[in-house]
């Protein structure tokens, strides 16, 4: 299982960009950290999620 924003998902082995798309995240408005390390945007397609990973997806909303 993979923890994404505090919830468990059965997505180990899937690519990060596929999982983000499934969960309806807009890739242009997010920052993603896996086990507290930033994932460079360009690497989203190559990064495969592993059992035990903790993923934090920060979604930015408008206003400032």
Partner 1 sequence: MISERDYYNALEIRHGKDNQKKFNGATVAICGLGGLGSNVAIALARAGIGKLILIDFDEVDITNIHRQQYKVSQIGMPKTQALKENLLEINPFIKIEAFQTKITEANVIDLVKAADVVCEAFDNPEAKALLVNTVLESLPEKYIVSGSGMAGFGSANLINTKKISKRFYLTGDGVSDVNDGIGLISSRVMVCAAHEAHMILRILMGECNP
List residues binding partner 1 (CB under 8 A): 28-31, 33, 36-38, 40-41, 56, 58-64
| CB closer to partner 1, 7 vs 10 | 7
| CB closer to partner 1, 48 vs 57 | 57
Please report how close the Cβ of residue 19 comes to partner 1 at its closest, in angstroms: 18
Residue in 37, 42, 3 with CA at minimum distance from that of residue 23: 3
Dihedral of the alpha carbons of 3, 7, 44, 57, in degrees to the nearest 10: -110
| CB closer to partner 1, 10 vs 28 | 28
């Amino acid at each position: 299982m993979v923890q994404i924003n505090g919830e468990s998902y059965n997505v180990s082995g899937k690519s990060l960009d596929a999982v983000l798309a499934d969960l309806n995240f807009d890739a242009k408005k997010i920052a993603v950290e896996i086990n507290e390390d930033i994932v460079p945007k360009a690497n989203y397609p190559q990064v495969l999620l592993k059992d035990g990973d903790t993923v934090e997806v920060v979604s930015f909303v408008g206003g400032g």
